[in-house]
């Protein structure tokens, strides 16, 4: 799904109002009804609510939610933050509707002395400021937010936590720290940023019937890697295929004491469906690889412990992954440098290979076009410099993808895939349990295997990251996040493929039925 900017989100509302057609106040009512349903279904027996409203349309949402909760016999107090404005038209209409039902528990906050006492057994609903915020908040609004955050209450933010910008850096700004955020129709850029984790809490996207043709008609720089996108990428197997149809991958990996990284990458590569796999490793890893993974072919360096001379006929291979566990010894650095200078194949570059390149950044210029680099944050900073916040890091990743004609896979909770044409994709699978040794080696193996199977570099990166995260989710469900091992991720790749193929088939059948009807 596309990820609109704050301006595009406003335009989407207006497009729906004109095309449906529907009055703005009725669209607001639709959103409030969805919020009220979620709240009553998920807040258990909680009966008391304090709703904090600004005088914009976000505050209008809050007033509508208050009225709907009162109709469900909930105890509701409404606190309106005073300002010089009388409020938007929709705010005023919802204010009058609320007063007709119950005006006894509507209060106005014009100074600190007006702050209510907030028992920690109530639910706070935050509708102070919406997605139109363009600057850090200060003054009384800041004081109100700080008071709410200190209450130890469950806090539900509507649309976006107050004080948080939709698509700008909010580090250092005062924001609501929501327990849950109820937003509408699609993810906002801010929900994908690790810096914002304390503000957004658990994000829930509510469908409110915005006209889908608007999203189809616009271009966005950012997009989610979700089921829809993966269904469009995934290629089911032809039943007459043979192993030659699925490519030949090469993994250049391992050193003495780090053969586990090579083995994990190799296992994942084979699980990704590649037809053939060759591994180039130090001699000391030969018995390990052959005994633990008989499906892989093995070639060894002349050195027992290190990679010192990568002397291979690259034309034999459909895709090459390099880096897991190779170390950064001087001999390996020289071997990698020579290899990169003569190689013309797209590569998947990870781990120690990235660390070596970071020491001699001119090597970025000799990486073949549409190679895929897969740094975590520290490796990224070694390559491209320290960034002060996530928005800056995303911007730099996109710039470097364009500059060097690379796919940049910046690993994290919502892994970013930045492409040379300026597109930014954010993954939707994966969990914190995957922050474990070897997880990145597994990803390298998966992408290397997919790239060999006639997926292009962008498709291999997108599908690989999604499958990797999905396998991690399946493994965490079985073993818990705390006990998750990289081996568990490898062993769950088959189940991830099963889920993807099942949904792709279902989507294909539905599309066929729709066309025939």
**pLDDT greater than 90 at residue 505:** no
**pLDDT of amino acid 374:** 98
Percent above pLDDT 90 for the chain: 91
382-404 pLDDT per residue, tens: 999 999 999 999 999 999 999 99
Give pLDDT, residue 399: 98
**Residue 512: is its pLDDT beyond 80?**
no
Q: What is the mean pLDDT of residues 149-159?
A: 97
Higher model confidence: residue 313 or residue 98? 98
| pLDDT for the residue 143 | 97
* 90 contacts 28 by C-beta, under 8 angstroms: yes
- Residue 21 DSSP label: T
Q: Residue 105 in 3-state DSSP? A: coil
Helix, strand counts (H, E) of the chain: 17, 18
User: How far apart, in whole angstroms, are the C-alpha atoms of residue 106 and residue 51?
Assistant: 10
Residue 292 Cα distances to 191, 253, 409, 441, angstroms? 42, 15, 29, 16
Print the SS3 string covering 165-234.
Answer: CCCCCCCCCCCCCCCEEEEECCCCHHHHCHHHHHHHCEEEEECCCCCHHHHHHCCCCEEEECHHHHHHHC
| Size of the chain in residues | 517
The gap from C-alpha 398 to its chain's centroid, in whole angstroms, comes to 15
- How much is the average pLDDT of 224-235? 96
Strands 2-3 and 222-225: antiparallel
Contact call for residues 179 and 155 (beta carbons, < 8 A): yes
| Per-residue pLDDT, 132 | 80
Please tell me the number of Cα atoms within 13 Å of 138 on its side-chain side. Answer: 2
pLDDT digits (tens, 9 = 90+) for 348-387: 999 999 999 999 999 999 999 999 999 999 999 999 999 9
Q: Cβ(438)–Cβ(485) under 8 Å?
A: yes
CA distance 474 to 491: 10
In the predicted model, is pLDDT for residue 342 greater than 80? yes
| pLDDT level of residue 169 (50, 70, 90 thresholds) | very high
Strands (E), 207-346: 222-225, 248-252, 276-281, 297-300, 319-322
Q: What is the mean pLDDT of the chain?
A: 95
pLDDT in tens, 433-472: 999 999 999 999 999 999 999 899 999 999 999 999 999 9
113: DSSP letter: G
Mean pLDDT of 51-77: 96
Q: What is the CA radius of gyration of the chain?
A: 27
d(CA 156, CA 32): 13
Looking at residue 39, its pLDDT comes to 97
Give all domains of the chain, ordered by start, each with its CATH number. Answer: 2-220 (3.40.50.10260), 240-509 (3.40.1190.20)
Helix (H, G, I), strand (E, B) or coil at 1: coil
Nearest to 459 by CA among 397, 365, 370: 370
Q: What is the pLDDT of residues 13-44, one digit of tens each?
A: 999 999 999 999 999 999 999 999 999 999 98
């Amino acid at each position: 799904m596309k990820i609109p900017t704050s301006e595009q989100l406003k335009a989407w509302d207006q497009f729906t109002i004109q095309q449906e057609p529907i009055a703005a106040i009725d669209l607001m009512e639709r959103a409030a009804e969805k919020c009220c349903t979620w709240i009553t279904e998920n807040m258990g027996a909680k009966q008391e609510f304090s709703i904090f409203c600004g005088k914009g349309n976000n505050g209008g949402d809050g007033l509508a939610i208050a009225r709907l909760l009162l109709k469900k016999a909930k105890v509701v107090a409404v606190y309106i933050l005073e300002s010089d404005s009388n409020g938007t038209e929709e705010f005023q209409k919802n204010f009058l509707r609320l007063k007709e039902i119950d005006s006894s528990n509507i209060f106005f906050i014009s100074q600190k002395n007006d702050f209510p006492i907030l028992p920690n057994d109530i639910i706070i609903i935050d509708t102070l400021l919406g997605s139109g915020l363009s600057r850090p908040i200060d003054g009384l609004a800041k004081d109100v937010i700080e008071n709410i955050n200190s209450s130890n209450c469950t806090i539900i933010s509507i649309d976006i936590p107050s004080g948080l910008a939709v698509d700008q850096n909010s580090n250092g700004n005062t924001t609501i720290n929501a327990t849950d955020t109820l937003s509408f129709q699609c993810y906002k850029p801010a929900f994908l940023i690790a810096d914002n984790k304390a503000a957004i809490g658990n994000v829930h996207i509510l469908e409110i019937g915005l006209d889908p043709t608007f999203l189809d008609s616009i271009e966005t720089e950012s997009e989610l890697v979700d089921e829809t996108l993966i269904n469009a990428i995934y290629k089911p197997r032809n039943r007459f295929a043979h192993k030659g149809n699925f490519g030949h991958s090469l993994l250049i990996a391992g050193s003495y004491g780090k053969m586990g990284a090579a083995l994990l990458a190799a296992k994942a590569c084979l699980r990704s469906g590649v037809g053939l796999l060759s591994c180039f490793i130090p001699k000391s890893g030969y018995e390990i690889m052959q005994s633990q993974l008989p499906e892989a072919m093995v070639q060894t360096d002349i050195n027992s412990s290190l990679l010192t001379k990568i002397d291979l006929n690259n034309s034999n291979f459909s895709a090459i992954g390099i880096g897991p566990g190779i170390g950064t010894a001087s001999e390996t650095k020289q071997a990698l440098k020579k290899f990169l200078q003569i190689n013309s194949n797209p590569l998947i570059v990870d781990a120690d290979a990235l660390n070596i390149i970071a020491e001699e950044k001119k090597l970025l210029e000799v990486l073949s076009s549409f190679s895929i680099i897969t740094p975590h944050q520290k490796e990224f900073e070694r390559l491209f410099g320290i960034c002060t916040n996530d928005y800056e890091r995303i911007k730099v990743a996109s710039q470097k993808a364009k500059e060097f004609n690379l796919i940049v896979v910046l690993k994290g909770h919502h892994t970013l895939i930045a492409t040379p044409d300026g597109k930014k994709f954010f993954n939707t699978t994966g969990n914190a349990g995957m922050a474990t040794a070897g997880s990145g080696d597994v990803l390298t193996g998966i992408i290397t295997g997919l790239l060999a199977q006639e997926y292009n570099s962008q498709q291999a990166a997108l599908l690989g990251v999604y499958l990797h995260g999905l396998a991690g989710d399946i493994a965490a469900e079985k073993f818990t996040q705390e006990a998750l091992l990289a081996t568990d991720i490898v062993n769950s790749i088959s189940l991830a493929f099963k889920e993807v193929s099942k949904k792709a088939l279902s989507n294909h059948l539905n599309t066929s039925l729709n066309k025939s009807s």
